[in-house]
């Protein structure tokens, strides 16, 4: 699936304390037309979100970060803008994490990131947004994506 890119596919806020992970997400999303704003922790991401008036189409956040973790960031963003599409990233997708994300409409990607799956998922979110559909914060769809060697 490929999103028809007009001026831009959407605006994405990426929060990850690992510079290499942020840049990888940029290399995945920028070529397909996304405008990306980067934050090195959850607190900075929330400040950027607020400063922009919540004008992001998708938020991608690591779960384990300093100053404000991804769980708290997700709750804060959904408190400000219910239904915001969220993609969570973690190196460990144990039952505690799944439980922590159970109250949101989110997709969980395990590190290392499956590049093809991430690109396809974000394109699908953008296509849904362009069609005027909105996600519901009352249900949580958590799927795990593991990278294969061919996807890296």
Q: In the chain, how long is the greatest CA-to-CA distance?
A: 40
- Residue range 51-110, pLDDT digits in tens: 999 999 999 999 999 999 998 999 999 999 999 999 999 988 788 777 767 667 788 898
For the beta carbon of residue 70, count every other beta carbon within 10 angstroms: 28
Angle at 126 between CA 122 and CA 130, to 5 degrees: 170
Residue 63 falls inside a structural domain: yes
Domain that holds residue 56: 10-147
CATH number at residue 139: 3.40.50.2300
Residue 80, H or E segment: helix 70-80
Q: Where are the beta strands (DSSP E) in 5-114?
A: 10-15, 34-39, 58-62, 86-90, 106-110
Q: Into how many domains does the chain fold? A: 1
Residue 71 falls inside a structural domain: yes
Q: Which residue has the higher pLDDT, 146 or 139?
A: 146
Residue 1 falls inside a structural domain: no
Q: pTM here?
A: 0.81
The answer to whether 15 and 73 have CB atoms below 8 angstroms apart is yes
Reported confidence tier of residue 138, pLDDT bands at 50, 70, 90? very low
Contact residues for 49 (Cβ-Cβ < 8 A; gap 6+): 13, 56, 59, 77, 80
Residue 111 falls inside a structural domain: yes
Residue 124 falls inside a structural domain: yes
Residue 106 falls inside a structural domain: yes
Residue 2 falls inside a structural domain: no
């Amino acid at each position: 699936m490929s999103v028809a890119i007009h001026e831009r596919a959407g605006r994405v806020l990426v929060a990850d304390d690992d510079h290499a992970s942020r840049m990888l997400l940029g290399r995945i999303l920028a070529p397909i037309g996304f405008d990306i704003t980067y934050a090195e922790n959850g607190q900075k991401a929330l400040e950027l979100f607020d400063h922009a008036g919540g004008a992001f189409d998708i938020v991608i956040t690591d779960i384990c970060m300093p100053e404000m973790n991804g769980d708290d960031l997700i709750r804060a963003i959904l408190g400000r803008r219910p239904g915001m599409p969220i993609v969570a990233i973690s190196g460990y997708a144990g039952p505690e994490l799944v439980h922590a994300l159970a109250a949101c409409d989110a997709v969980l990607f395990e590190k290392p990131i499956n590049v093809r799956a991430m690109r396809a998922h974000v394109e699908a979110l953008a296509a849904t947004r362009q069609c005027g559909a909105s996600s519901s914060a009352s249900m949580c769809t958590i799927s795990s994506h593991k990278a294969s060697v061919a996807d890296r």
